[in-house]
Amino acid sequence: LPSSSTRFEFDATYVEQLTAGDPEVERHFTEYFSALLVAKLRSRLRSPTLVEDAKQETFLRVLTTLRMKGGLSSPGGLGAFVNSVCNNVLFELYRSESKLSLTLDEEGAPEPEAIEASVESRLLSSEDRARVRQALEGLPAKDRTLIQWLFFEERDKDQICTELGVDREYLRVLVHRAKGRVKQALAAR
């Protein structure tokens, strides 16, 4: 199997092996979808713990269903199936929170968990992390500052644009360029 960080298309053999519990395919499957699920869950859940729980629950349900049904009729639909299961997990989370009458409005929302993402929940190995950081450090000073403000300091984007005299489109182009560097850094392994 290719690295789970590279482009990949699912075929019938892959789904069969995943359904049969092949450990290597299962590892590839969870690594491949981890980042996609984290990207989806981060914007909707309040804590790293909830994100991790929802991700694990999604994997569990997908694998259980595959084994119960004996696979998928359309192997190319594996990604859509994972997304659909994750939607259901999120829906149930919201429903259960609603039943517990948790305050979710922005005014009275409870404080988030004051924890950093645990080492276990990181998606990059320490070596890859170092490579990516090195690649980002090679950006021009202004762009490095922008990346810092966006993803480290999490400043308001409109304020960032005003302060550095750029527009939103510049931020998109910058993220596009930074992704290119990250891709190169990861491909150089």
Partner 1 sequence: MTEQTMRHEQAVASRAAERYLLDEMSELERHRFEAHYFSCPECAEDIRVGVALQEAASEPLTPGQSKPNAWPRPLRLVSLAAAAALVMTVGYQSLFVIPELQSMARPQALAPVVLRPVSRGADTPITLPAGASFLSMSLDVNLDPLPSELQYDLATDQGIVVASGRVAAPAPGTPLLLLVPSKALSAGRYALTLRPADGSAGTLAYRFVASTE
Within 115-134, the residues that bind partner 1 by CB under 8 A are 115-117, 122-124, 128-129, 132-133
Q: Is 188 in the site for partner 1 (CB under 8 A)?
A: no
Q: Is 161 in the site for partner 1 (CB under 8 A)?
A: no
Q: Is 88 in the site for partner 1 (CB under 8 A)?
A: yes
Among 17, 26, 61, 63, binds partner 1 (CB under 8 A): 61
Nearer to partner 1, 23 or 101 (CB): 101
Q: Is 27 in the site for partner 1 (CB under 8 A)?
A: no
**CA angle, 131 then 129 then 161, to 5°:** 90
Compute the least distance from the CB of residue 140 to partner 1, in Å. Answer: 13
Compute the least distance from the CB of residue 21 to partner 1, in Å. Answer: 18
HSE (CB half, 13 Å, CA atoms) of 138? 14
Q: Is 153 in the site for partner 1 (CB under 8 A)?
A: yes
Nearer to partner 1, 21 or 87 (CB): 87
56-64: long-range contacts, CB 8 A cutoff, minimum separation 24: 57/89, 58/33, 58/82, 58/85, 58/86, 58/89, 59/29, 59/30, 59/33, 61/85, 61/88, 61/89, 63/18, 63/26
Cα gap 160→149, rounded to integer Å: 7
Q: Is 9 in the site for partner 1 (CB under 8 A)?
A: yes
Compute the least distance from the CB of residue 103 to partner 1, in Å. Answer: 9
CB 131 within 8 A of CB 183: no
Cα gap 159→166, rounded to integer Å: 10
Q: Is 147 in the site for partner 1 (CB under 8 A)?
A: yes
Q: Is 63 in the site for partner 1 (CB under 8 A)?
A: no
The CA-based dihedral angle spanning residues 35, 139, 173, 47, taken in that order and rounded to the nearest 10 degrees: 30
Instruction: Count residues near partner 1 (CB under 8 A).
Output: 85
